[in-house]
Amino acid sequence: MTTKEKVLAVLEARKGQSISGAELARALNISRNSVWKAINSLRSEGYRFAATPNRGYCLLEENDIISQQSVQKHLKNIDFFRLTVVDRAESTNTVLKQLAEGGEAEGRVVIANEQTSGRGRMGRRFYSPPGSGIYISLLLRPKLMATDALFITTAAAVAVSRAIEAVTGKASSIKWVNDIYCGDKKVCGILTEASIDFESGGLSYAVLGIGINIGNPDGGFPEELKDIATSIYGGEPYSPEIRSELAASVLDNFLQLYKELHTRSFMVEYRSRSFVIGKEVLIIRPNSREQGIVLDIDDEARLVVKTAGGEIKKLSSGEISIREKKTGLD
């Protein structure tokens, strides 16, 4: 850890409180000149300090810069997760996949303030503007067959939904298989990408990507997303600490469920949080579309639907769109 990172860790732990340069120097066993250089470097990165002469340094609570230190102070499972926080990345999943191919161990997390080429399911672009959301990827090496990889996504959906409610107090629900909604619009997308060991049929690794819209981006959402996407807080103000706190809560909640992958006990909660059961939907696949009614989500995380022709199908892939108007299907 660099001197600047050590100074920031102390300031984050005492955010809103003044601490003298001498106290910082003693606590970190560095010179006061090193403290001064670290503070100036943080200022150049956009961190704001209270202007209170002779009272030392006070990191203002209004700072909304997400950092390793700001997330880690809220994180319970600090022994499992190893955080890297960057201001901008092409895609946090891409960064981690490259690390995974190089032998990186499980538990590495990359968090970005912005993604320039964020990805969603089915090759779609995931809008990832700066300052209003969090974009998290986690490297996993589960002892799991490739056919069971879907449970990583469903566990993550439950973890995100729990975290949103715990940290923000906002109600959330799950749209099969990987979207989190607040109200009738999407606030979070989840993308799990995996590498398969073809000899064993198991996973070599999996990269779990989670993007959450916390506040509305400057200028609002693009025209093509206005009707389907929103943020947790919409236009409401929120604490600058929320992004870091929510990132930590998502990771902690997911780790708890990750330990239950083989028992799949979280599927009960996944099903209870789903808002698609009983709904009329359009089932979208690469080469087909058909109407149906969602009857259930089974223990294999498959969507159980009754098609317009009366056939019962169990879907483990594809996408659905909720149909607002009744079609007479029973």
d(CA 293, CA 125): 28
Q: pLDDT tens digits, residue range 129-153?
A: 998 999 999 999 999 998 899 999 9
Q: pLDDT tens digits, residue range 73-122?
A: 999 999 999 999 999 999 999 999 999 999 999 999 999 999 998 877 76
Q: How far is CA 210 from CA 97, 134, 188, 296, in A?
A: 14, 8, 7, 25
**Beta carbons within 8 Å of 96's beta carbon, 6+ residues apart:** 104, 108, 110, 137, 138, 139, 207
pLDDT exceeds 50 at position 330: no
Q: Which DSSP category does 285 fall into?
A: E
Q: Give the best-scoring range by mean pLDDT among 156-165, 188-197, 228-237.
A: 156-165
pLDDT exceeds 90 at position 316: no
Q: At what angle do helices 32-44 and 3-13 cross, to 10 degrees?
A: 80
pLDDT band, very low/low/confident/very high, at 201 (cuts 50, 70, 90) = confident
pLDDT exceeds 80 at position 325: no
**Planar angle of CA 275, 75, 253, nearest 5 degrees:** 25
- Give residue 122's pLDDT: 61
The DSSP bridge partners found for residue 292 are: 281, 307
- Give residue 328's pLDDT: 44
Q: Which DSSP category does 75 fall into?
A: -
**71: alpha, beta or left, given left = phi > 0 and alpha = psi -120 to 50?**
alpha
pLDDT exceeds 50 at position 327: no
Range with the lowest mean pLDDT among 89-98, 210-219, 320-329? 320-329
Tell me which fold the domain 280-322 belongs to.
SH3 type barrels. (2.30.30)
How large a percentage of the chain has pLDDT more than 70? 97
Element (H, E) at 272: helix 267-273
Mean pLDDT value across the chain: 92
Q: Which DSSP category does 77 fall into?
A: -
pLDDT exceeds 60 at position 326: no
Cβ count near 31 (within 10 Å)? 12
Q: Give the best-scoring range by mean pLDDT among 88-92, 123-127, 324-328.
A: 88-92
- Give residue 123's pLDDT: 65
Kindly tell me the burial class for residue 305, based on how many C-beta atoms sit within 10 Å of its own C-beta (0-12, 13-18, 19 or more). Answer: buried
Flag whether the pTM goes above 0.85: yes
Between 170 and 235, the more confident residue is: 170
What's the Rg (C-alpha) of the chain? 22
- Mean pLDDT for 301-314 is 94
Sheet holding 280-285, edge to edge: 312-315, 303-307, 288-297, 280-285, 319-322
CATH of domain 68-273: 3.30.930.10
- Mean pLDDT for 48-71 is 88
3-state secondary structure of 31: coil
d(CA 135, CA 129): 10
**27: alpha, beta or left, given left = phi > 0 and alpha = psi -120 to 50?**
alpha
CATH of domain 3-58: 1.10.10.10
Between 125 and 310, the more confident residue is: 310
pLDDT band, very low/low/confident/very high, at 200 (cuts 50, 70, 90) = confident
Backbone φ and ψ of 322, nearest 5°: -70, 130
pLDDT exceeds 60 at position 329: no
- Mean pLDDT for 237-254 is 96
Judge whether 52 and 18 are in contact, CB under 8 Å: yes
Domain map (residue ranges) of the chain: 3-58, 68-273, 280-322
Judge whether 309 and 297 are in contact, CB under 8 Å: no
d(CA 266, CA 269): 5
- Give residue 120's pLDDT: 76
Same fold, 3-58 and 280-322: no
